[in-house]
């Protein structure tokens, strides 16, 4: 990675642990100034102090924030802009796995809360940061999606629905922002060994289903996907190297994202790395 985000400001939500923590560290290593947030104020302050000691206090800031609350998000973006005058963009990583079980068995309040955090939280952060990026006529928004966006996830319906919606929101914003040179992309980080994996294992096969539980056991034993590679993709999508790549859902594990700058023009003229309806002729079927 080049130093194209050096001296730029990046907001990372859900940064107290897991992928958000890894993304923040990767941005700091590339020379960016980072504003961290998480719901747990004590946890995010502890991370800030650790990073400040490692990378330098003037380069890392933090506050507690609930991304599902409009007032909290407004305060977050306002505080971040005061600390990061050269704001480049945001990584919307904050999210939850939500209730586990068949749709008719889960608590509807928990289901809706998952949508509030994963979808509304992403939307609110985009809504507040976009005017700043539009004034600058440049910026980057990276939204975290995942496997739930591209395939059914039985017994995790709130998570799957929210992540699919995040991808469509990403694609839509990319079109809305094209005239202002603001790139908006979604990332599928892969099956990471993070808090969400622990939740699945603690819930057990009765809640999440035996096939998914068994896959999660294998994932734990094998180590899961590389969290550093997922963080690297986020940094790439923040960098100038990715300029003009927008409206895509990119897998950290399966897609050759390091080579995308060489394929930029062809990529943007196709529906590759997007969510689209499959019709019979796409599968060689003549049903007309």
Catalytic residue IDs: 159
Query: Measured between alpha carbons, how far is residue 150 from residues 44, 77, 85 in Å?
Result: 31, 30, 37
How far apart are alpha carbons 187 and 191 in whole angstroms? 12
Give the bridge partners for 11, in sequence order: 35, 90
DSSP 140: E
Please name the residues in contact with 63: beta carbons below 8 A apart, sequence gap of 6 or more.
Answer: 35, 36, 37, 41, 44, 75, 76, 79
> Whose structure tokens read 């005017």?
131
How far apart are alpha carbons 143 and 72 in whole angstroms? 19
- Nearest of 145, 138, 134 to residue 168 by alpha carbon: 145
19, 144 contact by CB (below 8 A): yes
User: What 3-state DSSP class applies to 279?
Assistant: coil
How far apart are alpha carbons 211 and 213 in whole angstroms? 5
């Amino acid at each position: 990675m080049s130093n194209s985000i050096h001296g730029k400001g990046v907001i990372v939500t859900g940064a107290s642990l897991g992928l958000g923590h890894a993304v923040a560290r990767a941005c700091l290593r590339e020379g960016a100034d980072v504003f961290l947030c998480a719901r747990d104020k004590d946890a995010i302050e502890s991370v800030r102090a650790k990073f400040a000691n490692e990378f330098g206090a003037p380069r890392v800031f933090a506050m507690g924030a609930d991304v599902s609350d409009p007032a909290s998000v407004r305060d977050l973006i306002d505080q971040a802009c005061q600390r990061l005058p050269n704001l480049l963009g945001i990584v919307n990583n904050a999210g939850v796995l939500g209730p586990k079980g068949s749709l008719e068995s889960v608590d509807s309040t928990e289901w809706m809360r998952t949508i509030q955090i994963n979808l509304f939280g992403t939307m609110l952060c985009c809504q507040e940061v976009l005017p700043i990026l539009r004034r600058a006529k440049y910026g980057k928004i990276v939204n975290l999606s995942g496997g739930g966006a591209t395939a059914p996830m039985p017994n995790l319906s709130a998570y799957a629905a929210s992540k699919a919606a995040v991808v469509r929101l990403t694609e839509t914003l990319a079109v809305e922002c094209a005239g202002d040179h603001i790139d908006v992309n979604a990332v599928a980080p892969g099956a990471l060994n993070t808090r969400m994996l622990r939740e699945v294992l603690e819930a057990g096969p009765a809640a999440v289903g035996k096939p998914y539980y068994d896959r999660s056991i294998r994932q734990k034993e094998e180590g899961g996907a590389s969290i550093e590679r997922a963080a690297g993709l986020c940094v790439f999508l923040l960098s100038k190297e990715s300029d003009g790549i927008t409206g895509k859902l990119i897998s950290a594990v399966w897609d050759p994202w390091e080579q995308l700058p060489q394929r930029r023009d062809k990529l943007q003229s196709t529906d590759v790395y997007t969510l689209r309806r499959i019709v019979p002729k796409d599968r060689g079927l003549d049903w007309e």
